Chain A
Amino acid sequence: MAFTGNSRALPWALVTPALAWTLLFFVLPFIAMGFSSLTAHEGGGFTLANYSQFFTDPSYWRAMVNSLEVTAIVTVISILLAYPFAWILAEQVPERWQRLALMLAVLPFWTSYVVRSYSWLLVLAQNGVINRALTGIGLIGEPLQLANTRFATVTGFVHFFVMLLTLTIFANLKQLSPSYRKAAADLGAGPVRTFIHVVLPLTLPGIMVGAFLTFVLCIGDYITPQILGGNNELVMPQLVMMQIGRRGDFPLASALSIILMAVVTIAYLACARWLKIERA
């Protein structure tokens, strides 16, 4: 490529602003958080107390276990619900209606995240829609405790991730060449066998990507557990926010954030390796 005299300076002039922004407002804050996590809240000075507090205090452990449990449950339920749904949209709905059907299926995805969790509170509250309906038809005498439970948190999350996963799985199914299915049919496989031995394995990498995305977004979310789960059963992001809000304890909040990030990184490494092996 023949560029003029400024060709060496130009490319750096183009990429430097973005790099500088990332270093200044993403890498540097992370370093600051690392330093902060190693200082004592009272009086400063180097300490590992913030980390040891997490590893020794059972209530902190409990939050991490809750986070992992909720995330695992949400990921599994969301995939199990979304896969057949995406399959129906891609295979059973006539071609010309598919775009509309998909757009409708993810329409509430565009509501504000905070508002979406609040909407579930309306549905699940003590005197909310579900309890009024169930008592109205006489199925239950007393209203059920649905809000402020893990059930509510999981429901709110599943609602969000079913839409997200439907999008990714639908795209995956549509990318699948029809010749695979024709080949399977020619070789005498019925629809069930074709699905289990051909379609499902071919869409598995896409499912893994969706599952990882669900994991990352779910474990780092503060809004849904705070609005729907309440304070009965804390998850990690709630614990982090609590350190800042109630006590202004930045060092402990930093340490907890770093631990949470480490868990996500481990999951990513495990996932990335698994995906690579699949592809090879």
Chain B
Amino acid sequence: MRAAVRLAAWAYAIAVYGFIFLPVVVLVLFSLQATSFPIPPFTGPSLRWYQSVLSDARLTSALVNSILVAVLSSLASVTLGFLSAWGFARFVLPGSALLRGLITLPLTVSYLIIGMGLLVLFNWAGVPKSLLAAGIGHVVINLPLCFAIIYSQMGDHQINIERAARDLGAAEWKVLLLITVPVMAPAIFAGFFLSMTFSWDEFVISFLLTRFETTLPVEIWNLLRSGLNPKTNAVGSLVFAVSIVLVVFFELTLLRRKPA
């Protein structure tokens, strides 16, 4: 009986793993296709599609744009999120619960609607479509996330360290930079990292708010118009590789520090 349950459990787990990995394996395998269609039979391995991706100026500039938007919007999100989290955690403010609710509200709204709202607003205000507009949208979605992560990690034991610094005569800005930021570093880094991955992968806001200069997900979307294409496989596999490196880096740096 017990052995049968174990066997069934293993069979089930393997089936689910198979389901989860099937599309990724197909994606990477046919990115190495030698011929022009990413469908069976497999004709590779060949790196010609990777070469074609790296020599495609539109894709490489979209890649640079994506990194730029991700880094800058995440920096803005984490800065605003950290300052407000500190303010709400350390001081008693009138209507604090309501205001905190307001900051986290965008988490409950889908990206499509946030993008639509900004599109309508910018259209009325005469703000042209640009990477900056998309970056603003990315801060809207990531600021509440950074705020929530950092706010939830601001415990009482850190107040005492800050108080000690103040008692020893440190000015507020010194307390902030020399005490709070280092103590909160893991939460700040987690907020920054999550913002980076969300911004890096975000499609619909960038699609609505950019025109000529755009981000990588939008450029990949444009590639999809040509149907199934090994070049799309290659750029998709590269994006996947970047994400994996980020995740492994995150695991090794941030999660290692915590005692298991």
Contacts and interface: CB of A to CB of B under 8 A. Distances in A.
A162 B20 contact: yes
B102 A119 contact: no
A270 interface: no
Contact of B220 (A10, A26, A112): A112
Given A107-B244, A113-B201, A237-B112, A32 B121 contact: yes
A268 B89 CA distance: 27
A258 to B, nearest CB: 8
Given A25-B140, A257-B116, A118 B224 contact: yes
Contact of B83 (A18, A27, A114, A159): A18
A119 B24 contact: yes
B114 A26 contact: yes
B168 to A, nearest CB: 14
Interface residues of A, number: 79
A217 interface: yes
A146 interface: no
B23 A112 contact: no
A241 B243 CA distance: 28
A22 interface: yes
Contacts, number: 236
B239 A84 contact: no
Is chain A's interface secondary structure helix, strand, loop, or mixed overall?
helix
B26 interface: yes
A22 B106 contact: yes
Nearest to B200: A112
Interface in B156-209: 166, 172, 197, 200-201, 203-204, 208
B102 A22 contact: yes
Interface residues of B, number: 83
Contacts of A244: 116, 119, 208
Given A119-B23, A223-B204, A25 B110 contact: no
Contacts of A201: none
Interface in B100-126: 102-103, 105-106, 108-114, 116-121, 123-124
A177 interface: no
Interface in B22-45: 22-24, 26-27, 30, 37-41
B112 A257 contact: yes
Contacts of B228: 121-122, 125
B13 A268 contact: no
A18 B113 contact: no
Given A26-B114, A119-B27, A244-B208, A84 B12 contact: yes
A111 B108 contact: no
A205 to B, nearest CB: 18
Contacts of A132: 39-41
B23 A122 contact: yes
Nearest to A29: B117
A222 B118 CA distance: 17
A81 B235 CA distance: 30
Given A15-B93, A250-B123, A240 B112 contact: yes
Nearest to B235: A115
Contact of A15 (B10, B83, B216): B83
Interface of A: 3-4, 6-7, 10-15, 17-19, 21-23, 25-30, 32-33, 36, 81, 84-85, 88-89, 92-93, 103-105, 107-108, 110-116, 118-123, 125, 127-129, 132-133, 159, 162-163, 216-217, 219-223, 227, 237, 240-241, 244, 250, 253-254, 257, 260-261, 264, 268
23 contacts: A15-B93, A22-B105, A22-B144, A25-B137, A29-B117, A33-B117, A88-B9, A89-B13, A92-B9, A93-B13, A110-B247, A112-B240, A121-B228, A122-B228, A159-B20, A163-B20, A220-B111, A220-B113, A244-B119, A250-B123, A254-B116, A260-B113, A264-B110
